[in-house]
Amino acid sequence: MPSLIAPHEKPRVAHPAGNILGEGPLWDETEQALYWVDIKGHQLQCLANGNVRQWSFDEEITSVHRHAEGGFIVTLRHAIARLHLPEGTLEKWLTPEPELPGNRFNDAVVDANGNLWCGTMDDAESHASGSLYRVRPDGDCQRQDSGYIVTNGPVLSPQGDWLYHTDTLERLIYRFAVDEHGNLSGREPFIRIPQDQGCPDGMTTDRDGNLWVCQFGGWRISVFDSQGQLREEIPMPVANITSCTFGGPDLSTLYITTARKGLDNAALAEQPDAGALFAIETQTHGAPTPAFATQA
């Protein structure tokens, strides 16, 4: 089976961000720009035409997606909000878990019907208080699954008929069937990452339905086919690989976020590029990312 990575390609530093917890990369086709967050650094960053802009906030910003009515929809520590750029102003909209102050939002994805799928987690990473939510454009916010310490990587298959969601500390990726109304059913264990390969974190799919899984503490990205079989491993020069997405003019460049979180001084000396934004050229393509509140 041919490699999905372009010949002689290795991950390269696209920006030496030094993020504490880089996450949530979003390729914005309108701007031809890559947005991502540093959750623990309370920052949103944007790489366009070789230049980087950044915005700082008073709390964690954990994911970012385009809003069809302008600006962005973001998840913060406790809230889902509208973000207006370049001003960097926030309008908080929904707070689904006021009874769980120790929780925070983590990863998110938007489906083709404009729904936001977002997970919460225990920020102390000790209690299984995290849940997966579906947020419709009209503000209907429904818990879809629960019992996670750290939720991660909700992502959909190219046809939108499967949703993958990760229980990071259990090293387990679940698969759910998605019907035409955006309802989930049939949760099943789909992929388990071996204990010596770190924990599954953020992920994306390509046009053929392969699942690209970032492995925190695993020094790699693993690519699984639509049946859950390992197809390829991409070695990385840093340990904590957090998330990835396809971008570039033809959506063939894989952008990868990483983290310095959890690394001591010796590990940081060994991994000077920890926390950087990486890129690697592939021989496949992703799909455009839908905007929140658009309808198929």
123, 167, 201, 206: the catalytic one is: 201
Query: How far, in Å, are 69, 113, 233 from residue 84 at the CA level?
Result: 11, 22, 38
201 catalytic, yes or no? yes
Question: E-assigned strands of 193-267?
Answer: 199-205, 211-216, 220-224, 230-235, 241-247, 253-258
User: Which of these, 247, 267, 258, 268, lies nearest to 221 by C-alpha position?
Assistant: 258
Contact 155, 203 (CB under 8 A): yes
Contact 39, 275 (CB under 8 A): no
Whole-angstrom distance, CA of residue 247 vs CA of residue 115 = 21
Place of tokens 């998840």: 75
Residues labelled as active-site residues: 201
